[in-house]
């Protein structure tokens, strides 16, 4: 089941994510209210929790870490929702940017420190079936990575751009927002990545 849910994300599908998952009546400006409006939080969460889990599952092999990071992503989103600017991109782009920051922080801090400051322990909410489901999700994401092509040939920065634009369906501007770089940098990295995937060149040494 999990595999079937994850697999449609694989491949070089340039189309944006299915808009039906987000209530059309849910305006982007409602994101700012997710800390005080339960309906707004439900809408955003239901629409994008799968996007967040997929993003994290591509980077973390441990379902417990994926659960913790998913919880931390949404807690941080609630705390910082007032800074969401709909002019800069869709909510999913902003949310994946939050997930990216949470992930970077995760890799830089020790597990004991992370648990000491965690506001919601995601792993505490897991039961056995959840763990199996997340493991399948992680496996599916990794298989999808292989189907996409040999992403190992890309630099970490190029891979990030490919995953956000070509897999998550973000626009160039939205990926730039999520990564904290300019749209020009995203275009350059994506062009290099696509060129590299068509050829056999190794990761770029150029720091762009």
Partner 1 sequence: MSTFEDRLLVELHNHRPAPRRRTIPVAASVSAVAVLAAGAIALPGLLGTGAAYAMTTEPDGSITFTLKELRDLDAATSALNEAGVPAVVRAARADCEDTTVGARAPSDLLEWPVGGDEGSVRIHPSAMPDGHVLGLTAFEPKSTGKAGPVVKVLLYDAPGPPCFPLGKPGPK
Map residues 47-66 to x or -, x wherever contact with partner 1 holds by CB under 8 A.
Answer: --x---x-------------
What does the DSSP assignment read for 146-186?
A: HHH--GGGS-HHHHHHHIIIIIS---HHHHHHHHTS-HHHH
- Our CB check for partner 1 shows the closer of 1 and 200 to be 1
Location of structure tokens 């994300």: 9
Helix spans in 61-162 (H): 63-80, 91-108, 111-117, 128-148, 156-162
Measured at the alpha carbon of residue 109, what is the angle toward residues 174 and 175, in degrees to the nearest 5? Answer: 5
Interaction between residue 101 and partner 1 (CB under 8 A)? yes
Region binding partner 1 by CB under 8 A among candidate stretches 11-19, 72-80, 145-153, 192-200:
72-80
Nearest to 92 by CA among 47, 30, 43, 144: 47
- Our CB check for partner 1 shows the closer of 71 and 148 to be 71
Interaction between residue 122 and partner 1 (CB under 8 A)? yes
Contact with partner 1 (CB under 8 A) among 115, 119, 132, 191 = 119
C-alpha 131/C-alpha 40 separation (Å) is 28
Contact with partner 1 (CB under 8 A) among 85, 132, 146, 202 = 85
Interface positions, 7-26, toward partner 1 (CB under 8 A): none
Interaction between residue 29 and partner 1 (CB under 8 A)? no
CB 17 within 8 A of CB 51: yes
Two tokens at 112? 């004991």
Terminal C-alpha separation, the chain: 39
Q: Shortest gap between Cβ of 117 and partner 1 (angstroms)?
A: 9
Question: Residue 101: how many CB atoms within 10 A of its CB?
Answer: 16
Interaction between residue 96 and partner 1 (CB under 8 A)? no
- Our CB check for partner 1 shows the closer of 80 and 195 to be 80
Rg (CA), the chain: 17
Which residues of this protein are in contact with partner 1, per CB under 8 A?
Answer: 35-36, 38, 41-42, 45-46, 49, 53, 67, 70-71, 74-76, 78-83, 85, 87-88, 98, 100-101, 104-105, 108-109, 119-120, 122, 125-127, 129-130, 133-134, 179-181, 207
């Amino acid at each position: 089941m999990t595999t079937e849910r994850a697999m449609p994300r694989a491949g070089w599908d340039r189309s944006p994510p299915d808009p039906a998952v987000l209530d059309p009546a849910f305006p982007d400006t409602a994101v700012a209210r997710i800390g005080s409006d339960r309906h707004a939080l439900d809408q955003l969460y239901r629409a994008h929790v799968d996007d967040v889990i997929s993003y994290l599952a591509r980077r973390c092999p441990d379902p417990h870490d994926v659960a913790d990071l998913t919880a931390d992503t949404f807690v941080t989103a609630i705390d910082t929702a007032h800074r969401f600017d709909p002019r800069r991109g869709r909510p999913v782009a902003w949310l994946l940017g939050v997930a990216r920051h949470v992930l970077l922080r995760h890799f830089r801090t020790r597990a004991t420190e992370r648990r000491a400051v965690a506001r919601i322990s995601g792993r505490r909410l897991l039961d056995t079936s959840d763990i199996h489901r997340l493991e399948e999700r992680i496996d599916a994401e990794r298989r999808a990575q292989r189907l996409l092509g040999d992403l190992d040939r890309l630099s970490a920065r190029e891979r990030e751009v490919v995953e956000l634009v070509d897999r998550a369906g973000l626009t160039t501007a939205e990926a730039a927002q999520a990564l904290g770089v300019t749209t020009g940098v995203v275009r350059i990295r994506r062009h290099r990545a696509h060129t590299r995937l068509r050829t056999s060149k190794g990761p770029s040494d150029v720091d762009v």
